[in-house]
A and B are shown apart, each in its own frame.
Chain A
Amino acid sequence: MTPEDVRLLSPEIALVGLALLVILLDLVVKQKGLLGLLAAIGLLVPLGLSIWLWMDVADQPDHRLVGIFGTLVVDRFALFFKFLVLGVAALVVLASSDYARHVREHRGEYYGLLLFSATGMMLLAATEELIAIYVALELTTLPLIALAAFLKTSRSSESGLKFLVLSAVSSALLLYGIALVYGFTGSTFLSDIARQAAFLTEAGEIFGGSSALLLGVVLIIAGFGFKISAAPFHMWVPDVYEGAPTPVTAYLSVASKAAGFAVLLRVLYGGFEVFQLDWQILLAVMAAASMTIGNLVAIAQTSVKRLLAYSTIAHAGYLLVGLAAIAPTTADGDTSGPSSVLYYLGAYAATNLAAFFAVMAIANKVGSDQISDFAGISRRAPLLAFALALSLVALIGVPPTGIFIAKLYIFGSALESGLLWLVVVGVANTVVSAYYYLRVVRTMYLEPPTSEGAVPTSASFKLALGVSALGVLVFGFLPGPLLRLVELSAGTLGATVVEYVGLLPIG
């Protein structure tokens, strides 16, 4: 590792250092509450380093820096996800302060695992090499499995075990796919793969080369499909989400999913652009299936956590619509599909976090996550109920909230790509989803309360919920800044693709 490599890796190094520091301090600090505060404040260091790299990257001719033998890529796309992951991690850490009392003994490990997982997510978005992607994926997933089982209740342990078994299966699919791709292209670097795949396709090697390669692509998509909880790889989601500690569920549903989409975008647009029309139809079908299954099954749920679990499956479907939108929409040949996905991820992060945080506080107080036990909560905790109602309404995609703009953007790009049928499915699903989201709102506001007592929350929790709820509205009222950011970030993704096309041997 050269000093330059260290500099490029500095946000991740700082994050690992912070995780270790929190775990070590847990041994000596008596006031455990300080640990969460330290973790949250400590996240400013990697954030600062990422901002520093962002400014550095802006000065580069092709807006990217490459290190560690070409495996580590620092471009705006990677940095966008660093910002997103760090922001989500900070909010989850802050919101955990109330919940962490349940895990009095191992609070240091709790925060430490959260931060290790964040490191993996940041790396996932920052590499263009398949082995490094796999390692980063495991670094993301293993701490999450431990966190899912953290409560040591039977539900929580079940959740952790299922997560472990199913992610092992998905890893196997992914590795098999990677092996196939490596076998036929002779490289694990996405740029080489893109070049080789184009060459094979052009040479007419359909049966000998590209079809097996295509199987590799299908298996890789299946492996990541698990990560982003897309149908038919979504089966683990409701069980794991329900059993895991609620802050971990929130983290899983937002950060882990964002990292999955980051790496899918990288692999599909960076390595397998040649197969565009093939994976477009695959992703479109997966999108339709995820939206429909997620929304229809959510209607039948009685637990708020399971309802939100199915809702995240449905949202994975909406996001896949953006992934399937491959047609160029701008004058310089870029497609707006990827940038619409990034916008959706940002808006969705704020909204889903707000929803889960509010559910966490209310369920903690009423001692249940059944929808019926949320009755009349608007009178006991008006602000929490308002935050939950706001985020649920926002999840439908009603103006003026962030997800409305995001859906407009994603469906717009899909229309440009000729996916009218998929947009129709998406809009119909949006209507269906209103039913179960509003059912929760109605229960909270219109039904008489079943028990009494206010819902106390800590200051750091209020901060986390307030910031998320503010995000819901800001991304809806003032979409401009985030739109510019995602266009810049996705632009570098397009730039690398253009670069590969220029290198194609067929000219």
Chain B
Amino acid sequence: MIQEAAVWAIFLLPLGSFVAIALVIRPFLNRFSGLAALTTITTIGASFALSLVALGSVIDNGEVLFAPHEWLSLGALQINLGIILDPLTSIMLVVVTGVSLMVQVYSLGYMRGDPGFARYYALMSLFTASMIGLVIASNVVQLYVFWELVGVCSYLLIGFWFTRPAAAAAAKKAFVVTRIGDLGFLIAILYLFFNTAAFAENGLNALEIADISAGVQLGLLGGTALTLMVMGIFAGAMGKSAQFPLHIWLPDAMEGPTPVSSLIHAATMVAAGVFLIARFFPVVEASVHAMQIIALVGAITAIFAATMGLVMNDIKRVLAYSTISQLGYMVAALGVGAYVPAIFHLFTHAFFKALLFMGAGSVNHASGTFDMRYMGGLRKYMPWTYMLVLIGSLSLAGIFPLSGFWSKDEILAHAWGGGSTVDTVVFWLLFAAVPMTAFYIFRMVFMTFHGEFRGGVEAEEQDAGIPSHQGEHKVHLAESPWVMVLPMGLLAVASVVAGGLVNPVVDILGIPAHWFADFLGGKSDIILSLAGLSLAVAVLGIGTAVFLFLVPNLLPGPLGAPFRLAHHLLSRKYYMDELLEGGVTRRGFYGVGGGSLDWMDRKIIDNFAETIGWSSMNFGRVVALLQTGQAQGYVLIVTLGAIVIGGVFFAFMWT
């Protein structure tokens, strides 16, 4: 049985690493910035080991209960600090610390020589600590604090190269768009605050997650109010997990360093939204309408993002849309009640998507660019990267027997078996996204690794008319150093085995069938015929990619008129950026809404505010007039004050 202190240590170790780097290493020992990496990797490694112990403990004994500690108690309001260590948390802990450890090792190579090396590791430590704090939090206030903290870390890391305008803008966009969702989450929390008294009557604390579920069962929350509260929680999840229409920040977030994309924007933080719904699943499940909305939003996101992934030329943006699409799968799964498949897919996706991002980083390391039009033929120069990316791609495409196959097909099977109209719609949307997924990821593989090398960053700059730097070779066609390849290799192993061996359909190698589902206390299975069908369409998708990009080495363009229109629409991302920024924000928000508000603002609010400002300024002036510096005047005011107070009291007494 794991001690409570050990679970806190999982969280405190990376936090201590952040404090040590920020307060000691960066101000005083910045010359030895390797120390920052060493501290981070050691502490996160220790956290990973403890997370494995925690997982083992939960596997042996089931959920480990710890009594929460009182943090603040004012009247009826009691806020605790506590830990939930249930199967969901223990799995998340292993995913977060495991992927983070791999990313930190990988960053040794990728970030080498960067002037902000120590700052980078400080922020990565803080992010890891916050993410751990988020998954172990036992009440909503604690959870919300870490929810915002991971958002802040994401902001700081997207804008890590803040001297680049694009990075600064992307960081701001990510922060603002996710905040829109967070507002919903905050409103849900405030709603719980207002219900403190009703919960207290039943001996429950409205802010404790476990008590909220109990409150729903007791009927303290229900009906439309419950649906609205769940929608508030889901709004938070939509922002963080980049669900349509709040997905627009994630592709831009690719401005951050690639390992950051790998950890934060593929494996962990963006999965926090899925985790949030899973954490509140007993509450969410109680509202049928909310579940239907969640399912549809997830399914629409899955197919919508997949179509945009078809045409992107930036390797990281292909992966970004792929991530949005896969998150859509998870959210849709939760919406149709497929709790276990959703978490299972989160688990497998974390590994293969982190791997794919690392592959993109490795490719960038060699070619100096992220634009696939200037890559090609890298297979010859970086065979290891090629092989590992291929494994990740096959897993993402859902090819038997890699992990993505199992988790994705469980989601499809569950949606198919649901039976309701919503379930059917969700199934077909998700099913249609399967060949697209296979197509776009193999388009990426072929454009990057096959054919002839097309000049990398040097050619890109030539085309863009930027004068090339004399004698400086930015293109460096060779395999990346082993510190980058090794973590990719380990993640590739996980991508291969994390599916079939973790939740096998039959007893295999001593692992009981449906082990993962039993552990999480739910059900999951695949339907053989359906799995075969989805495998077939995935292969069809790959085949199309082979036909279009491998055999004749065609690049997008000569595809024929009807395709060109679609291609244009897709590559402009359905004009979503323009619609949301230009249409909704600028014209709708600023124009229509803003216009009327502007009138109100100028005619009513401004006058009101100016009156207040004017009167307070004059009030200040009048009072300042009294402040003459003459002690006699002060005595007069003191005496008058006492007389007025006494007089008022007497007047009240005699009436």
Q: Interface on A for B, CB 8 Å cutoff?
A: 161-162, 165-166, 169-170, 173, 206-207, 211, 214-215, 218-219, 222, 226, 231-233, 235-236, 238-239, 278, 282, 293, 296-297, 299-300, 329, 336, 405, 408-409, 412, 416, 432, 479-480, 483
Sample 22 A-B pairs with CB under 8 A, ordered by A number.
A165-B631, A166-B631, A169-B635, A169-B638, A169-B639, A173-B638, A206-B653, A207-B653, A218-B645, A232-B637, A232-B641, A233-B641, A235-B627, A239-B627, A278-B649, A282-B649, A296-B616, A299-B620, A300-B621, A329-B75, A336-B74, A483-B73
| Chain B residues whose C-beta falls within 8 Å of the C-beta of A219 in the assembled complex | 642, 646
| Chain A residues whose C-beta falls within 8 Å of the C-beta of B633 in the assembled complex | 235
B463 at the interface (CB under 8 A from A): no
B635's contact among A166, A300, A408, by CB below 8 Å, is which?
A166
| Chain A residues whose C-beta falls within 8 Å of the C-beta of B631 in the assembled complex | 161-162, 165-166, 236
B634 at the interface (CB under 8 A from A): yes
Q: Are the CB atoms of A239 and B635 closer together than 8 Å?
A: no
Scan residues 61-82 of chain B and give those whose CB is less than 8 A from a CB of chain A: 70-75, 77
Q: How far is the CB of B470 from chain A (nearest CB, A)?
A: 37
Which 5 pairs from chain A and chain B are nearest by CB?
A: A232-B641, A235-B634, A222-B642, A300-B620, A162-B631
Given contacts A218-B642, A300-B624, A480-B71, 13 further A-B contacts (CB under 8 A): A169-B639, A211-B650, A211-B653, A219-B646, A222-B642, A238-B627, A278-B649, A296-B619, A299-B620, A336-B74, A405-B72, A408-B74, A416-B75
Q: Are the CB atoms of A222 and B645 closer together than 8 Å?
A: yes
A231 to B638, CA, bound (A): 9
| Chain B residues whose C-beta falls within 8 Å of the C-beta of A161 in the assembled complex | 631
Q: How far is the CB of A432 from chain B (nearest CB, A)?
A: 8
Contact mask B625-655 → A, CB, 8 Å, 1/0?
A: 0110101011101111110011001100100
Q: How far is the CB of B652 from chain A (nearest CB, A)?
A: 8
Size range of the chain B interface in the assembly:
20 to 34
Q: Are the CB atoms of B641 and A412 closer together than 8 Å?
A: no
B528 at the interface (CB under 8 A from A): no
Q: Are the CB atoms of B75 and A412 closer together than 8 Å?
A: yes
| Chain A residues whose C-beta falls within 8 Å of the C-beta of B653 in the assembled complex | 206-207, 211, 214
Closest to A405 in B: B72
B617 at the interface (CB under 8 A from A): yes
Q: Are the CB atoms of B635 and A297 closer together than 8 Å?
A: no
Q: Are the CB atoms of B646 and A215 closer together than 8 Å?
A: yes
Given contacts A296-B619, A300-B617, A479-B71, contact A282 B635 (CB under 8 A): no
Given contacts A166-B638, A233-B638, contact A215 B650 (CB under 8 A): yes
B623 at the interface (CB under 8 A from A): yes
Scan residues 46-74 of chain B and give those whose CB is less than 8 A from a CB of chain A: 70-74
| Chain A residues whose C-beta falls within 8 Å of the C-beta of B650 in the assembled complex | 211, 215
| Chain A residues whose C-beta falls within 8 Å of the C-beta of B626 in the assembled complex | 235
A219 to B118, CA, bound (A): 63
Total CB contacts across the A-B interface at under 8 A? 90
| Chain B residues whose C-beta falls within 8 Å of the C-beta of A218 in the assembled complex | 642, 645-646, 649
| Chain B residues whose C-beta falls within 8 Å of the C-beta of A211 in the assembled complex | 650, 653
A225 to B77, CA, bound (A): 33
Q: Are the CB atoms of B649 and A215 closer together than 8 Å?
A: yes
| Chain A residues whose C-beta falls within 8 Å of the C-beta of B77 in the assembled complex | 412
Q: How far is the CB of B19 from chain A (nearest CB, A)?
A: 13
A226 to B649, CA, bound (A): 19
Q: Are the CB atoms of A297 and B623 closer together than 8 Å?
A: yes
Given contacts A166-B635, A296-B623, contact A173 B73 (CB under 8 A): no
Q: How far is the CB of A367 from chain B (nearest CB, A)?
A: 23
Scan residues 601-630 of chain B and give those whose CB is less than 8 A from a CB of chain A: 616-617, 619-621, 623-624, 626-627, 629
A298 to B616, CA, bound (A): 11
Closest to B613 in A: A299
Scan residues 443-495 of chain B and give those whose CB is less than 8 A from a CB of chain A: none
A166 to B649, CA, bound (A): 24
| Chain B residues whose C-beta falls within 8 Å of the C-beta of A432 in the assembled complex | 616
Q: Are the CB atoms of B641 and A222 closer together than 8 Å?
A: yes
A236 to B617, CA, bound (A): 21
A282 to B621, CA, bound (A): 26
A211 to B654, CA, bound (A): 10
Which of A170, A226, A232 gathers most chain B CB within 10 Å? A232
Q: Are the CB atoms of A165 and B635 closer together than 8 Å?
A: yes
Q: How far is the CB of B120 from chain A (nearest CB, A)?
A: 21
A9 to B620, CA, bound (A): 46
| Chain A residues whose C-beta falls within 8 Å of the C-beta of B619 in the assembled complex | 296
| Chain B residues whose C-beta falls within 8 Å of the C-beta of A238 in the assembled complex | 627
A297's contact among B72, B624, B642, B649, by CB below 8 Å, is which?
B624
A169 to B632, CA, bound (A): 11
Q: How far is the CB of B479 from chain A (nearest CB, A)?
A: 44
Closest to B642 in A: A222
Q: How far is the CB of A79 from chain B (nearest CB, A)?
A: 23
| Chain B residues whose C-beta falls within 8 Å of the C-beta of A336 in the assembled complex | 74-75
A480 to B71, CA, bound (A): 6
| Chain B residues whose C-beta falls within 8 Å of the C-beta of A299 in the assembled complex | 616-617, 620
Q: Are the CB atoms of A170 and B649 closer together than 8 Å?
A: no
Q: How far is the CB of B632 from chain A (nearest CB, A)?
A: 8
Q: Are the CB atoms of A226 and B75 closer together than 8 Å?
A: no
A254 to B379, CA, bound (A): 71
| Chain A residues whose C-beta falls within 8 Å of the C-beta of B70 in the assembled complex | 480
Q: Are the CB atoms of A235 and B637 closer together than 8 Å?
A: yes
A189 to B627, CA, bound (A): 38
Q: How far is the CB of A451 from chain B (nearest CB, A)?
A: 24
Q: How far is the CB of A183 from chain B (nearest CB, A)?
A: 16
Q: How far is the CB of B54 from chain A (nearest CB, A)?
A: 25
Contact mask B360-386 → A, CB, 8 Å, 1/0?
A: 000000000000000000000000000
A170's contact among B71, B627, B638, by CB below 8 Å, is which?
B638
Q: How far is the CB of A422 from chain B (nearest CB, A)?
A: 17
A170 to B75, CA, bound (A): 37
| Chain A residues whose C-beta falls within 8 Å of the C-beta of B639 in the assembled complex | 169
Q: How far is the CB of A184 from chain B (nearest CB, A)?
A: 15
A299 to B624, CA, bound (A): 11
Which of B74, B621, B624, B650 gathers most chain A CB within 10 Å? B74
Q: How far is the CB of B18 from chain A (nearest CB, A)?
A: 16
A464 to B637, CA, bound (A): 37
Closest to B645 in A: A218
Closest to B629 in A: A239
| Chain A residues whose C-beta falls within 8 Å of the C-beta of B616 in the assembled complex | 296, 299, 432
A214 to B654, CA, bound (A): 13
A323 to B77, CA, bound (A): 21
Q: How far is the CB of A290 from chain B (nearest CB, A)?
A: 12
| Chain B residues whose C-beta falls within 8 Å of the C-beta of A409 in the assembled complex | 74
| Chain B residues whose C-beta falls within 8 Å of the C-beta of A239 in the assembled complex | 627, 629
| Chain A residues whose C-beta falls within 8 Å of the C-beta of B72 in the assembled complex | 405, 479-480, 483
Closest to A165 in B: B631
A196 to B77, CA, bound (A): 39
| Chain A residues whose C-beta falls within 8 Å of the C-beta of B71 in the assembled complex | 479-480
| Chain B residues whose C-beta falls within 8 Å of the C-beta of A222 in the assembled complex | 638, 641-642, 645
Which of B77, B626, B641, B646 gathers most chain A CB within 10 Å? B641
Closest to A408 in B: B74
A336 to B631, CA, bound (A): 38
Closest to B636 in A: A235
| Chain B residues whose C-beta falls within 8 Å of the C-beta of A231 in the assembled complex | 641
| Chain B residues whose C-beta falls within 8 Å of the C-beta of A416 in the assembled complex | 75
A206 to B73, CA, bound (A): 42
Closest to A230 in B: B641
A207 to B653, CA, bound (A): 9
Closest to B621 in A: A300
Q: How far is the CB of A289 from chain B (nearest CB, A)?
A: 9
A168 to B634, CA, bound (A): 12
Q: How far is the CB of B139 from chain A (nearest CB, A)?
A: 16
Closest to B641 in A: A232
Which of B73, B629, B633, B638 gathers most chain A CB within 10 Å? B638
| Chain A residues whose C-beta falls within 8 Å of the C-beta of B74 in the assembled complex | 336, 408-409, 412
Q: Are the CB atoms of A166 and B634 closer together than 8 Å?
A: yes
| Chain A residues whose C-beta falls within 8 Å of the C-beta of B640 in the assembled complex | 232
